[in-house]
A and B are shown apart, each in its own frame.
Chain A
Amino acid sequence: MFNLLRVLEQFLRFIGCLLLALQYGRLLPRQMISQLHIAGVSSLVLICISALFIGLVFAFQMYIVLEGFGSLPQLSQVVAFGLFRELSPVVTGLLVAGRVGSTLAAELGQMKQAEQIDSLLMWGINSYAYLMWPRLLALLIVTPILVLAFDAISIYAAWFYAVTLHGMESQIFWTPLVFGSIYFEVDVLYGMYKAVFFGGWIGVMSLYQGAFVERGSSGIAKASTQAVVLSSAGVLMLDYVLSQFLY
């Protein structure tokens, strides 16, 4: 119990330092670009592959079900509804948590252990402004874009399954998206809003784990594991809460 309170205090202090560091914030473009590269560009392939196969599986399963009811023209609508609203932000969040969150925690943990963060302090550089914010900001910017990529690729995967493999009319596939109940402002944009929250959550959790790493090489292992566990579980919880509020 006492331990839990101490962790909570540590976490709140971390958030406080993060917010206070905003006044020293001078965004370095080079820092920012390399962080955007790490968080965004290098996750893109993973996101695209996942989107491709999730779209295919979703279309495959829905095809069987809808064929039974003779409502195959609704296929794209069903796929888009399930993917755009829930699956695409959540899966993107989980993948980013696994790919970027662990990297951040390990990187920061290594820096902390090598006393690089302390030496930054010696130079009078605020490590929160210099190290944490570019990473956090990169995640906040990149996650919604990754969600968009996920959306587009998964709907194309469903199109490939229905049209190319099963000979559905391409026009019939696309029309329900425009005239059905899939709205850009609701389904696609709300997925992006969610992604911003997920990105922030993953960033804060991973950076916190890295910044307060334990001594020894097992400390880094523990920090990166904790980062992934906390961010993944958090993404799923946040998703429910945000869905309640948004829709």
Chain B
Amino acid sequence: MFKKRWMDLSVGSFFILGLSVFFFLSSITGQVSDEKLGAYQLRARFDDVSGLVNRALVRISGVTVGQVNDIVIVPDTYSAMVTLTIFDPKLKIPADSTIGVYTEGILGSKYLSIMPGFSDTFLRKGDEILRTNSAVVLENLFSKLLLFFGDK
């Protein structure tokens, strides 16, 4: 009888443990629907984002503050519209900030970096960052160099 009860207890606590671990793991990992914690989205239009991918990091002064959600083409101008999420709702970004595509190291992955401006008005959810610097494509750089040396 005692053994039976002990078995019931252990099986029951096994399930309770499983359930609590389930919730623990869901609390420490990210959710696909990442609207939690009041993260907000901004947009930016680039001439060239080559190498930038979804989930690429967004940084300010080298600190990761967000990630890229979506990259689509704007049909009228053939420029790239990037939607990015800023994780911290308390982090306010001045309206005259500049955003650029940079590369980690020489051959590393691409990321976005925001250089904050000095404006007193801040970007709100869904706003567009107007000042953008496109990605530097090495091939373009080389071809310019070749032209430059070719002239001589």
- Chain A interface (Cβ within 8 Å of chain B)? 33-34, 36-37, 40-41, 44, 80, 145, 148-149, 151-152, 155, 174, 177-188
Contact = CB atoms under 8 A, between A and B. Distances in A.
Contact of B31 (A36, A148, A183): A183
B17 interface: yes
A185 B33 CA distance: 9
For B8, B22, B29, B31, the residue with the greatest tally of chain A CB atoms inside 10 Å of its CB is B29
A182 B30 contact: yes
A152 B21 contact: yes
Contacts of A151: 21, 25
Contacts of B148: none
A37 B11 CA distance: 6
A187 B26 CA distance: 10
B11 A180 contact: no
Interface in B71-129: 87
A216 B25 CA distance: 48
Contacts of B10: 37, 41
B67 interface: yes
Given A36-B14, A179-B64, 4 more contacts: A152-B25, A180-B30, A184-B31, A184-B32
Contacts of B32: 183-186
B30 A179 contact: yes
B11 A148 contact: no
21 contacts: A34-B7, A41-B10, A41-B11, A145-B15, A145-B18, A148-B18, A148-B25, A149-B17, A151-B21, A152-B25, A174-B28, A177-B28, A177-B30, A178-B29, A179-B67, A181-B55, A182-B29, A182-B30, A184-B26, A184-B32, A185-B31
Contacts, number: 67
Interface residues on B, range: 20 to 34
Main secondary structure of the interface of B (DSSP, over half): helix
B142 interface: no
Interface in B26-47: 26, 28-32
B149 interface: no
Contacts of B11: 33, 36-37, 40-41
B24 interface: yes
B25 A188 contact: yes
Nearest to B12: A33
Main secondary structure of the interface of A (DSSP, over half): helix
A184 B21 contact: no
B7 A155 contact: no
A152 to B, nearest CB: 5
Contacts of A183: 29-32
Nearest to B17: A149
A34 B8 CA distance: 8
Contacts of A179: 30, 64, 67, 87
Contacts of A188: 25-26, 29
B25 A184 contact: yes
B29 A187 contact: yes
B28 A148 contact: no
A155 B24 CA distance: 11
A177 B29 contact: yes
A44 B16 CA distance: 13
Contacts of A186: 32
Contacts of A177: 28-30
A152 B143 CA distance: 52
Contacts of B22: 148
